[in-house]
Amino acid sequence: MRIGIDASSVLDEGTGLENHVLTLVDAVARFSDHELVVFVRRKLPRQWDEIQGRLEARCLDTDSQVLATQVLLRRAARRARLDVLYCGAKPAPAGYAGTLLVGIHDPIPWMKPDVMGRGAAPWFRTFHSMSIRHGAHVATPSAVSKGALEALLGLEGRRVHVVGNALAPWYQRYLAGAAIERPAVAPSAPYFLAVRRIDPRSGLSTVLDAWDDLRRRHPHVRLVLAGKAGWKAGSWVERARATPGVTMLGEVSAPDLAGLYRHALGFVTASMHEGFGLTVLEAMALGAPVLATGIPPHLEVGGDAARYFAVGDWTSLSRAMERLVHDEGERTGRVARGKARALVFSAERLATRFLEAAEATAGG
């Protein structure tokens, strides 16, 4: 089978969807013998240096994302004579006559459009709906997203495929036992870590409320926030900067992020909406106890390894953080369960599930 994957949105911005495409291509290249064609902007991402001999790269020579996906990709995919084209980050090109597998990360464009960037929700809804009307199958990372998309879009279950996700390839060496040093960007004091783009879905106000409560009793502990400031982030960024004991790092490198996870007292996420829960997986794999909102994607990824609290319940989060400060047994137990749980989401499993979806799509 000849499979095409749209990677035109991979621009080293570190977004979750970008990392999904990077991880998926690496997994398929390593764990399958199918012909793999990737469509990139300008050049092949450096993250694929080790696998470039196992794929065919076709460049879409433009700085415009819309031109790349809606015009140049359509032409390049037609010339590539694909059995199936997967568009996992941006909507598929309108009018593409070939067989399509579209990636829809979550039902947010239909259910919570107000938490997306200006104009993003109508854009995604319009183009995804066009693809689906023309027979496209859908790939999504979690069972909860599958159920929601089937209901919202009126899709038969056989056309919606759960492919999951996996730890990014640049973290795999740590699973093999490579040492993870405490990075220079980490505070010298004990700290909790939150990793996420700051936006209306992030729940940062819940984290800061819990932090305000905790720091009064534990002034030696710090809170580290890693991730870019996104849409409508201004007020939360201002509050975080004004809060004692908070370190805002912005975007950090993969080696530094691995070290931040490994040496944290705990990883916290108060996210209100997710399609998968990639940072939960990263934290478990890299050795951080996880405290997360009990939304279905977090439950699906974290299993019994994480400790959960209700969306917006900062008092429960504060109590859970305090327990990690005091209870070494709680920390080590959750780290051990988290590492075991993370092994479920292997790159080989991701490749297998994706190939099953691609084969089902090609078969109609």
Nearest Cα to Cα of residue 4 among 87, 96, 103: 87
Does position 13 have pLDDT exceeding 90, yes or no? no
Give pLDDT tens digits for 80-90. Answer: 999 999 999 99
CATH class of the region 2-166+346-362: alpha beta
Average pLDDT over residues 338-357: 97
Give the rounded percent of residues in the chain with a pLDDT score beyond 70.
100
User: Is there a contact between 202 and 225 (Cβ–Cβ < 8 Å)?
Assistant: no
Write out pLDDT tens, residues 266-275.
Answer: 999 999 999 9
pLDDT of the residue at 362 = 95
Whether the pLDDT of residue 292 is over 80: the answer is yes
The one-letter code for the residue type at 110 is W
Give the residue from 357, 311, 266 showing the smallest Cα distance to 34: 357
CA dihedral 31, 35, 37, 38 (to 10 degrees): 0
Q: How high does pLDDT run on average in the chain?
A: 94
Predicted local distance difference test score (pLDDT) of residue 173? 84
Q: Do 2-166+346-362 and 173-342 come out as alike in CATH topology?
A: yes
| 3-state percent helix, strand, coil for the chain, nearest multiple of 5 | 50, 15, 35
Domain 173-342: which topology?
A: Rossmann fold (3.40.50)
How is the beta sheet containing 222-226 ordered, strand by strand?
246-250, 222-226, 191-195, 266-269, 290-293, 307-309
Q: How far does Cα 290 stand from its chain's mean position?
A: 16
- Give me 100's structure tokens: 């399509």
Q: For residues 325-344, give the mean pLDDT.
A: 96
What is the distance of C-alpha 127 from the center of its chain? 21
Q: Which residues contact 140 (CB under 8 A, 6 or more apart)?
A: 103, 104, 105, 106, 146, 149, 160, 161, 162, 163, 275
Residues 6+ apart with CB under 8 A from 179: none
Binning pLDDT at 50, 70 and 90, where does residue 7 land? very high
Q: What is the pLDDT of residues 206-253, one digit of tens each?
A: 999 999 999 999 999 999 999 888 777 778 889 999 999 999 999 999
The token pair that represents 230 in the structure block: 């996104």
Distance CA 56, CA 238 (A): 46
Domain ranges in the chain? 2-166+346-362, 173-342
pLDDT(115) > 90: no
Say what the pLDDT of residue 217 is.
Answer: 95
